[in-house]
Amino acid sequence: MAGIVSARPTILCFLLKVASRCNLACDYCYMYKHADQSWRHQPHMFSSETCSAVVARIGDYASSRQLRRLSVVFHGGEPLLFGPTRLALLAGQLRDAMPEGARCDVSLQTNGVLLTTDALDILGDADIGVSLSLDGPRLVHDLHRLTPAGNSSHDAAERALTLLARRPKTFAGVIAVIDPTTSPRDVLSYFARHYMPALDLLLPDATYLRPPPGRDADPNLFARWLTEAFDVWFDEFPELPIRIFDALLGTICGQPSPTDAFGFGEVSLLTIETDGSYHDLDVLKITSEGRSALGMNVRDYSIDEACASPTLAEHARLLSLGGLSLTCQSCPEVTVCGGGAVPHRYGEDGFTHPSIYCTELLALIGHIRARLRRAIEDERLTAGIRRAHENVDLAQFDQASTAKPHVTAMMNTWVRRAQPALMRAVQDYSACHPVDEIPACMTDSLSAGLSQVSVTPSAILWVRLVRADASEMSLKALDGSYVHADATGLTSIGWLARHVDQQRPYIHRDDPLLRLPFGKPIEFLPFHGPATVSARSAVETALNLIGDYDNTLLDELRTLCTDIQLVRDLSAPPDRTVSFSDDSVPGALYVAPAAGRADLGLADLADSIIHEHRHQKLYLLSRTVDLVAADEPFVRSPWRDEPRPPSGVLHAVFVFTELKAFWEWIAHVGPISDRARADREVSVITDRLGEGIAILRGTALTPAGRKLLTVLAIRAEIDP
């Protein structure tokens, strides 16, 4: 290594081994269970003198290199053995040592056993991020992460996870080591049930001298687990931020790798042990005794001097194409995996091999490429559907009097997708539940009305629930409770199948599925009693008023909207009109027939119904036509106190363009008592539409989105 000449690396992350001992005895630990056993001779903790020297050296280094930002990770062993108060003090000293304008991010990696509410208070106040080591559900976690006495550590780790989930500003993520004898779905569904800002799935550390456990008996053990885990993630839990999969997807698409496990990179991390000695990447301890040591310490050498170490120069070479084995250099996937993690390349003759996980990496990369090709083909099919509607006349679509052919075509496209999805969901549910739970109407009558039933809000939501339950990732209601598919939902869908010819929308139908996504503070009116009878009558009268305004709009509403539900929002101001709808239950309109203690006027109730119908109409268009190219950054909304995504403002403009026309009609032909009020409504709506359209002109709308905006501006008589 002495002959290597290389520019000194720039260290951006310092791994401080504040404690060299641990309160667990994980059987795969790279620090205690592999080749380098130097921890036995290390002090148990950073001394006060070592702390002072580390702070001074890092501060001097940040100044000499003019760094604007660096990170420090408290590590171990178990860093909480050092004590949260001392960790907070050290974090403060490190930040105080930074040059003016420089930032020092501080975090720690813990097994969670010692993490308490009090400890988190201290760490949170000190702005120390916390990453948790947790392998999954109890049966997975306790395969390897036991106490020194051989007892489970899962309860303590999960308790830490629960505490961290309540503190998203502190929670940095979870690291989990893969055991290929476990179920990938069990692992991923466990993590999906918890708040997870980031998840690292790590292969057990291994070298050619100590191959991956269990692979000798089953060569495909790890490859099978990885590819199955990717499929489960890709199909069922894509919202989980799993670094190994995100990194590979990125590098396959040509992006630089964010992890040292894949792709080329630079040396940017320096480890400092409890005795103050400088070390290279700590995981190199799996290779040989002393392999990570630089032979220098913080008392006698600056960090700049440590960076001149030939050990770091050799590490830098191993992160370049020339530092890879000849096999890797000629491999077509070298730009994706970069030869794999450096420690995993080690053998008797050094780092001259592909990763010990080369076979697994190639299998996973090939599998991901195949899945991407299939996903692209699926997207092409979706794009084909979109192309079928790309020539939709948006001016015709906007107005109910000319929209019917377009609405009908879009509904038919939606049915072609929703109908087989409902059939599969019924079959899947039937396979897992007693036959007597399946209402007879689902087999006797459903086929006749299946196409119409499949796009009702009840059916759409129930299909989602079946899928979520099958993936063991239950959906949550707004109040945080979990919701599941059950036979009651099937009964509701069966009722719809038997009443497909009944005039819609159904007013305040007793269907638990329509209430399921919501919790407090939304309160549904009783389904019986004088007040409900009166409210239903008011809605019928409001629908008649809408028909008087525009009978084609009422026909369109009856086509798109299955249900109107009557609600109260207990959190709303007493003088505010309440209505809402959501694409998770498409075709359901939720309106409050009263504001505070007073019943809504007829025009206001009609306004609420038209308002939510227009949202549903735009959701329908958005399923087949892309309107927003980038739904960020959030922008000001003339209708809300808080910023909104561009799609939200576009929805508001689409809604209020129709409401402007409605209130103009009220001002001319409505009751004399409503006309002055209607004039005021028109004035306010016109001003806000002008603001909203101006705001949207500065956002990333697609060509179709810009065309729709022009259509709406012309209709609202605002300069397009």
Listed in order, strand segments (DSSP E) in 40-135 are 69-75, 103-110, 128-133
One-letter-per-residue 3-state SS of 666-717: HHHHCCHHHHHHHHHHHHHHHHHHHHHHHHHCCCCECHHHHHHHHHHHHHCC
What is the DSSP code (8-state) at residue 92? H
User: Which is it for strands 128-133 and 103-110: parallel, antiparallel or unpaired?
Assistant: parallel
Report which of 501, 512, 497 is spatially closest to residue 455, judged by C-alpha positions: 497
708 close to 398: Cβ distance less than 8 angstroms: yes
For residue 497, what are its two tokens? 């199948």
DSSP string, 612-675: HHHHHHHHHHHHHS--BS---S-B--TT-SS-B-HHHHHHHHHHHHHHHHHHHHHHHHS-HHHH
**Residues forming a β-bridge with 316:** none
Please, what is the angle between helix 446-453 and helix 487-498, to 10°? 100
Whole-angstrom distance, CA of residue 282 vs CA of residue 310: 16
Reading phi first (left if > 0) and then psi (alpha if -120 to 50, else beta), residue 476 is in beta
Q: What pLDDT is stored for residue 471 in this prediction? A: 60
Tokens 């709808």 belong to residue: 581
Whole-angstrom distance, CA of residue 617 vs CA of residue 1: 69
Q: What pLDDT is stored for residue 295 in this prediction? A: 96
Cis, bond preceding 530 (omega within 30 deg of 0): no
Q: Tell me, what amino acid is at 279?
A: H
Q: What pLDDT is stored for residue 445 in this prediction? A: 41
Whole-angstrom distance, CA of residue 681 vs CA of residue 419: 42
Q: Residues for the chain: how many in total? A: 720
Q: What pLDDT is stored for residue 440 in this prediction? A: 57
298 close to 355: Cβ distance less than 8 angstroms: no
Q: What pLDDT is stored for residue 546 in this prediction? A: 96
Q: Which residues, including other chains, have CB under 8 Å from residue 357's CB and lie 6 or more apart?
A: 203, 206, 212, 222, 340, 344
Q: Determine how many CB atoms are found less than 10 A away from the CB of residue 642.
A: 8
Q: Mean pLDDT per segment of 10 residues, for the chain of length 720 residues?
A: 59 98 96 94 97 98 96 97 98 97 97 97 98 97 96 97 95 97 93 93 96 96 95 87 91 72 83 98 95 96 96 95 94 92 96 96 93 74 58 92 92 84 83 65 52 88 85 66 82 83 89 84 86 93 96 96 87 70 88 74 93 96 89 91 92 97 93 87 96 95 94 90
| C-alpha radius of gyration, the chain, whole number | 31
Segment (H or E) for 404: helix 400-432
Whole-angstrom distance, CA of residue 358 vs CA of residue 336: 12
Whole-angstrom distance, CA of residue 203 vs CA of residue 197: 20
Phi, psi of 159 (to 5 degrees): -60, -40
What is the DSSP code (8-state) at residue 98? S
Q: What pLDDT is stored for residue 415 in this prediction? A: 85
DSSP string, 474-530: -EE-TTS-EE---HHHHHHHHHHHHTTTS-S-EES---HHHHTT--TTEEEPPSSSH
Whole-angstrom distance, CA of residue 607 vs CA of residue 578: 11
First to last CA, the chain: 69
Q: What pLDDT is stored for residue 148 in this prediction? A: 95
Give the 3-state secondary structure percentages of the chain, helix then strand then coil, rounded to 5: 50, 10, 40
Cα 589 to chain center, whole Å? 27
> Residues 707, 708, 714, 719: what is their CA dihedral angle, to the nearest 10 degrees?
-60
**Residues forming a β-bridge with 580:** 590
Q: Determine how many CB atoms are found less than 10 A away from the CB of residue 175.
A: 18
Contacts by 304-307, CB closer than 8 A, 24 or more apart: 304/8, 304/61, 304/64, 304/65, 306/270, 306/278, 307/8, 307/9, 307/10, 307/11, 307/270
User: Which is it for strands 598-599 and 522-524: parallel, antiparallel or unpaired?
Assistant: unpaired
Q: Which residues, including other chains, have CB under 8 Å from residue 9's CB and lie 6 or more apart?
A: 266, 267, 268, 307, 312, 316
Whole-angstrom distance, CA of residue 136 vs CA of residue 153: 12
| Neighbour-count burial of 433, counting CB atoms closer than 10 A to its CB (0-12 exposed, 13-18 middle, 19+ buried) | middle
DSSP string, 118-139: HHHHHHHHTTEEEEEE--SSHH
551 close to 506: Cβ distance less than 8 angstroms: no
For residue 106, what are its two tokens? 């501080």
Q: What angle do CA 603, 608, 611 make, to 5 degrees?
A: 120
Reading phi first (left if > 0) and then psi (alpha if -120 to 50, else beta), residue 626 is in beta
627 close to 647: Cβ distance less than 8 angstroms: yes
- Sheet strand arrangement including 269-272: 199-202, 171-177, 128-133, 103-110, 69-75, 13-17, 269-272, 277-279, 293-297
